[in-house]
Chain A
Amino acid sequence: MAAVRTSSEVAFNRIAIAAVLIATLIFLAPIYWIASTAFKPKELAVSVPPTVLFEPEVTPFVRLFTKRVQMQKTVDPQAYEAAPWWEKRIYDGGERVLKVGKDVQLSQYPDRFMNSLIVAVISTVLAVGMGTFTAYGFSRFKIAGEADLLFFILSTRMLPPVVVAIPMFLMYRMVGLNDSHIGLIILYVAFNLSFSVWLMKGFMDEIPKEYEEAALVDGYTRMQAFFKIVLPEAATGIAATAVFCFITAWNEYAFALIMTNRRAQTAPPFIPSQIGSGLPDWTTIAAGTFLFLLPVAIFTFLLRNHLLRGVTFGAIRK
């Protein structure tokens, strides 16, 4: 690098920064769109041209979490006065909240969200765990037909998964795995495992085997060396792999739609099913989507340091 920056270098730098800013705006635009729609009054959601400035409200979230019905007549003023603020917002929209006795009936959204969380977390833990062990084996031991086995593992990703959806569905129904958490978890682990093995193998290969050898000589078994030395060293790789597996499982739509309908349904197929008939309630859908984005955003944010290093891993020799 030159000691003094020339004017052309400065100019190039500015252009590069501008390009990055523009790219960032393009990527953030849909997220802004969803986030702003989630806080818009119903009638502004579909206004043309789009409304940019509005008074934000949380009514879409109230609608998201409650069971409601359209009211045939106007609300009784006394009941309106007695209602809490969020219920008033529902009355304002010409609907009322369904109750059993005094208890508000919740919508299915929290359950579906929970299903997503259970399926994504467990399948991620399993896929990354199994992938880490498998990758370690491939990386450290001489295995007959290693290249063929690795190719076989990768080949499971060479087909669009949805191609096998119908046979999978039939098989799942036969063994009673349809509409169950465990069924979805098995599917997602199967999806993610090949990816996890390949990614983790790259990370494992980067960890010098002298670390384990030192531990072996120092009086540890291979298993102890794996847990005490290899795992901490592989943390970056595990974090990166986990984020990708989690995102895949969290966002999966096609199989979740086909394999589940009630008990184990995850959020992705549930949210669009709320469009319902008549005029779509875009603000409620946006609210559901917005909340749905948060776990991935939080997970990724927490692991961002590992992730950055993980994605560029191996590019630079330490």
Chain B
Amino acid sequence: MTQIELRGIEKFFGAVQVIHNLNLAIADNEFIVLLGQSGCGKTTTLRAIAGLETIDKGDVLIDGKAVQHLKAADRDIAMVFQSFSLYPHMTVFENVAFPLRATRMSSGEVDKSVREVARVLRITDLLDKRPSALSGGDMQRVAIGRALVRRPKAMLMDEPIGALDAKLREEMRAEIKRLHVKQGSTTIYVTHDQIEAMSLADRIVIMHEGFIQQVGTPDEVYSHPANLFVAQFVGSPVMNIAEASVADQAGAASVRVGDAPAGFEFPGQLLPKLNGHSNGGLTLGIRPEGVLVRHDAAPGYIPVEANIIEPLGSFDIVDLKVGSTMLRARTKAGYVSGPGEKVHVRIDPEQAHFFDTASGKSLGVRL
């Protein structure tokens, strides 16, 4: 049973503030992912929890007890580093046993614990090898084994699979998930890869420039991004963002993107909610899968010209020129034959997001 709470954390590197008044409560057994670009403060936050970094203000609580003045060794937390940090002069066995050697455990028990963890992680065959003889995936398993072996209160992972190639990353992602389900320990995981975050997290914490942007389940941050940063950071391909204006057209809402000649038709019930923002302060967000494309004209569709086409195997991303604005649409592979082709496009009102341009905040208007 381990709860971790961060209260009002602030951290400066010299004159630069890297974490601003960070508050976060993490429940027992929860898998939390800190997601953000490099330099957003996510790794610093993780290191502050581990005790490898001091904080300038605030409290780090583990099970209700403030630990910010404790040494890393006394916090009973394990950490997996991006570089794996396996000790090159020790065998895999010694590496995994290393945290246990710091305790007064008998060598028989150490042996038993190491072999148990090795079995779970399927690294029993590797125990006598040196880290330099291992593949990237095996190194990562050993690093996780070293973290798991003494059953810590919490696991911290700093981009643990960032150094692996794409295929292995996918495998190890599944493996980490499997382990978490099986072992069930409070885990804080840092990554800049939103796919990793979506697939692993119970809750995602999105950070930008030292501020928390949004905390929520993967579905929440994907379907209800709190602001423009989250909207564009989560989801692939990236969400379209465009200045928009709303007009009342015979009871229905007409949403015009940029200087487009015609507006997209939206249900009239949006009108009262959007009216306050109709003077150039409105931004429309629509994921490429919400941009619907067809060859022949139909009600609600406006004619546009295709620009660049990126084939991605199972689907294509087509850049469509709507006025001077580019909207990216996701289509079936080969649906639009080439640049310059005339097609018709509509925006799915149910997938549209609206933001206040000035503050970037979501208006919370969804159908």
Q: Real complex partners, A and B?
A: yes
Q: Which residues of A contact B (CB under 8 A)?
A: 208, 210-211, 213-221, 224, 229, 232-233, 235
Do B85 and A210 touch (CB < 8 A)? yes
For A210, A214, A220, which residue has the most chain B Cβ atoms within 10 angstroms?
A214
Interface residues of chain B: helix, strand, loop or mixed (majority): loop
Q: Is the CB–CB distance between B51 and A218 below 8 Å?
A: no
Given contacts A210-B85, A213-B52, A217-B79, 11 further A-B contacts (CB under 8 A): A210-B81, A210-B83, A213-B79, A216-B51, A216-B52, A216-B73, A218-B98, A219-B73, A219-B99, A220-B102, A233-B87
With both chains docked as a complex, state the minimum distance between the C-beta of B189 and any C-beta of chain A, in angstroms.
15
Q: Please give the distance in Å from B326's CB to the nearest CB on chain A.
A: 41
B103 within 8 A of A: yes
- How far, in whole Å, are A218 and B52 apart by their CA atoms in the complex? 12
- Neighbouring A residues of B99 by C-beta, 8 Å: 218-219
- Contact yes or no, B88 A217, CB < 8 A: no
Instruction: Confirm or deny: B190 has a beta carbon within 8 angstroms of a beta carbon on chain A.
Output: no
Which of B72, B77, B79, B89 is most buried by chain A, counting CB atoms within 10 A of its CB?
B72
Q: Are A217 and B77 within 8 A (Cβ)?
A: yes
CB distance from B323 to the nearest CB of A (A): 50
Give the interface centre of A211, A217, A224 by most chain B CB atoms within 10 Å: A217
Shortest B358–chain A CB gap in Å is 41
Q: Mark B145-163, 1 if CB is under 8 A from A, else 0.
A: 0100010000010000000
Q: Of B51, B83, B87, which is within 8 A of A217 by CB? A: B51
Report if B295 contacts A (CB, 8 A): no
A229 / chain B contacts, CB cutoff of 8 Å: 87
Query: What separation, in Å, do the CA atoms of A218 and B71 have in the docked complex?
Result: 11
**CB pair B79 A214 closer than 8 Å:** yes
Please report whether the interface of chain A is mostly helix, strand, loop or mixed according to DSSP. Answer: helix
Known: A219-B99, A219-B102. A214 touches B81 (CB 8 A): yes
Partner of B72, one of A208, A211, A217, A224: A217
Q: How far is the CB of B50 from chain A (nearest CB, A)?
A: 6
Question: What are 25 sample pairs from A and B whose C-beta atoms fall under 8 A apart?
Answer: A208-B83, A208-B85, A210-B81, A210-B83, A210-B85, A214-B81, A216-B52, A216-B73, A217-B51, A217-B52, A217-B73, A217-B78, A217-B156, A218-B78, A218-B102, A218-B146, A219-B73, A219-B103, A219-B150, A220-B73, A229-B87, A232-B87, A232-B89, A233-B87, A233-B89
Contact B73 A213 (CB under 8 A): no
Residues of A within 8 A of B78 (CB): 217-218
User: A233 to nearest B CB, angstroms?
Assistant: 7
Interface members, chain B 70-96 (any A CB < 8 Å) = 71-73, 77-79, 81, 83, 85, 87-89
**Contact: A217 with B50, CB < 8 Å?**
yes
A211's partner among B79, B87, B150, B156 (CB-CB below 8 A) is: B87
Closest 7 CB pairs of A and B: A219-B102, A218-B99, A214-B85, A210-B85, A216-B72, A232-B89, A217-B79
The complex places the Cα of A220 from the Cα of B85 at a distance, in Å, of: 15
CA distance A214 to B146 in the complex (A): 10
A220: B residues at CB distance < 8 A? 73, 102
